[in-house]
Structure 1
């Protein structure tokens, strides 16, 4: 279906972010564009170092500047370009309208402050609640995220919580001011599978009950399948494919997307099949290649792939890919994902 821009909550356009180091400029994000609608969950996937976390943190101006800097692009949120706002203006948006769950709750929570007080901070600052009102809301939030005995837990420190409970506490902090957008950066990486499933169920409940939009940063495609409606595939600081969940999982068109899909173990089949790794390493972003960044690792690469970056090819109104295999003069290549599902 056609994109309804009236439903768009955040629209990232041609975002470029670099880090200046003693060895030179690291071009971490090189023209990323994507959007998230109100109440929608969008996953940004790719291997470590592809720029997905930097993209998410840049939208909230959370990257250290310097050495980081937003070179170009727009992050439009409710009619405002967040890249043009001052630190003070961003403070009024962070926590109240956009919140973030970080990868490691033990390093994100303040170990010297009680968990309840950390939830109360945002409520007092953004919603102007009294301490008594903020404490009452903090207890409610701990209860919402499934922490038992919230009246007792609100007075405890992070080290008294288990890993799963710390992540729930982080979610309580992020959701305490009813944000319109929740950015979850690898929210389940450090958790065992049982707690991981509980956290994902909690995020789905919150999306449904509060109509919260979610940007999910992950390399775990099982997590993506469980929660996302659309998927953005990143590689070497670029978006190389984007589409709905079904389009990416069942009709992905970029060889890198194929590689990601073929690395997922199949649990619903009696066939014994080896996982297929993606050979090679990502390119050096001190000096990115001028052509397709995946060309050096792609068994389908043609001479033009190393010389020129392909343009977007739209396969539907929601699905596009940047790959020379889509060109009319390219050889026919059988999609290994489709073949594996036949």
Structure 2
């Protein structure tokens, strides 16, 4: 049985605004096992980044945790002091942010920024820390590391800066790495290189990753499990194969339909906009945008229905009494392709 290192239970987070209380995270639960990659996917504003920032204690000042637990090796991170956070943050739990330029200090040499966590958390001498920083720069694929260790962030390209941010995050060999849209600002070629680098370093450092993205295409080659997030809550959870080949929630269908493929002639968009979380809907939050929605979707929030031991979705379409609907053609095609692959493996 996998060793569970993180367990988030019934997390609720509000934001205080001039307009009122925004229910940003609404009763979210999930877990992370040792050595695995969990992807959290969804549109912008769905609550992905807020969820991960709560795990590392970096929520905005106008936020308030209204309930729940974040258990790291059984210890509730919501109850620890800032001094305890300083021992954990960057050491046992580290984070890669979306924009590397705003994550780096423009006045400090790169070597100093990579070495600093070792000096602070591990008590390494400056000489030891710089030697390790040089080693890590080479590990993340920065050429001429001996020369470039004394350069500043503005002297690196966007892809190289992201490699530096990854080096800083992994220098202390954290148990959990939170990656918040780490490749969004990069072109496709550099994006693929960074993802390969993260997977390679994950094996070496044996860290667990929570990968935040709106791009399901990135998730396919990166994640072990996927949680689909919308309007501050999860609508579907499963292994990467289950979410890609046998999705059950209409929102997941919409996300997959909006992915470009080699055969797609046009991109399908999801009509409508997410709900106003100042006044969250009482039923399925996706109902107003869901052409398969039933009357009950607007009246009552659906529970999670079990699809398999590892797959569950919160949609009334899975209720035994619900009418049978045919998913979009792309979803049906993926499921048929998956069954063909499974049959070929059995042969």
TM category (shorter chain) comes to over 0.9
Q: Is residue 190 of structure 2 the alignment partner of residue 195 of structure 1? A: yes
Q: Aligned equivalents of 2:88 and 2:19: distance in 1?
A: 35
Aligned residue number for residue 324 of structure 2: 332
Q: Deviations over 1:14-53 (max 9, x none)?
A: 1111110111111111011111110001100000000000
Query: Structure 2, unaligned stretches of length 5 or more?
Result: 337-347
CA distance in 1, matches of 2:77, 2:147: 39
Match of 2:265 in 1: 273
5 Å-filtered alignment, 1:87-166, equals 87-166=82-161
- 2:59 is aligned to 63
Shift of residue 334, structure 1, vs aligned partner: 1.3
TM-score (norm 2): 0.94
Q: Distance in 1 between matches of 2:248 and 2:70?
A: 27
Specify the alignment match of 2:341 in structure 1. Answer: none
Q: Output the CA distance in 1 between the equivalents of 2:216 and 2:195.
A: 13
Q: In structure 2, what is the Cα distance between the partners aligned to 1:278 and 1:230? A: 23
Moved over 3 A (4+): none
CA deviations on 1:81-104 (whole Å, 9 max, x unpaired) are 111111110110111111000000
For 2:163, which of 162, 168, 175 is the aligned residue?
168
The reply to whether residue 7 of structure 1 matches residue 7 of structure 2 is no
Contact kept in structure 1, 2:305 and 2:312, CA below 8 Å:
yes
Query: 1:317 aligned to 2:309?
Result: yes
Report if aligned partners of 2:137, 2:167 keep a CA contact under 8 Å in 1.
Answer: yes
Rounded Cα–Cα distance in structure 2 between residues aligned with 1:111 and 1:26: 34
Q: CA RMSD in A?
A: 1.0
- Residues 238-249 of structure 1 aligned to structure 2 (within 5 Å): 238-249=233-244
Shift in Å, 1:340: 2.8
Shift of 1:79: 1.8
1:298 and 2:277 aligned: no
In structure 1, the gaps of 5 or more residues are: none
Is residue 32 from structure 1 mapped to residue 41 from structure 2 by the alignment? no
Select the residue among 165, 180, 188 that pairs with 1:185. 180
User: 1:213 aligned to 2:216?
Assistant: no
Counterpart Cα distance in 2 of 1:142 and 1:172: 7
Equivalent residue, structure 1, for 2:230: 235
Contact 2:253 2:331 (8 Å CA) reproduced: no
Q: Distance in 2 between matches of 1:17 and 1:113?
A: 35
Deviation at 1:338, TM superposition (A): 3.8
**CA displacement at 1:328 relative to structure 2:** 1.3
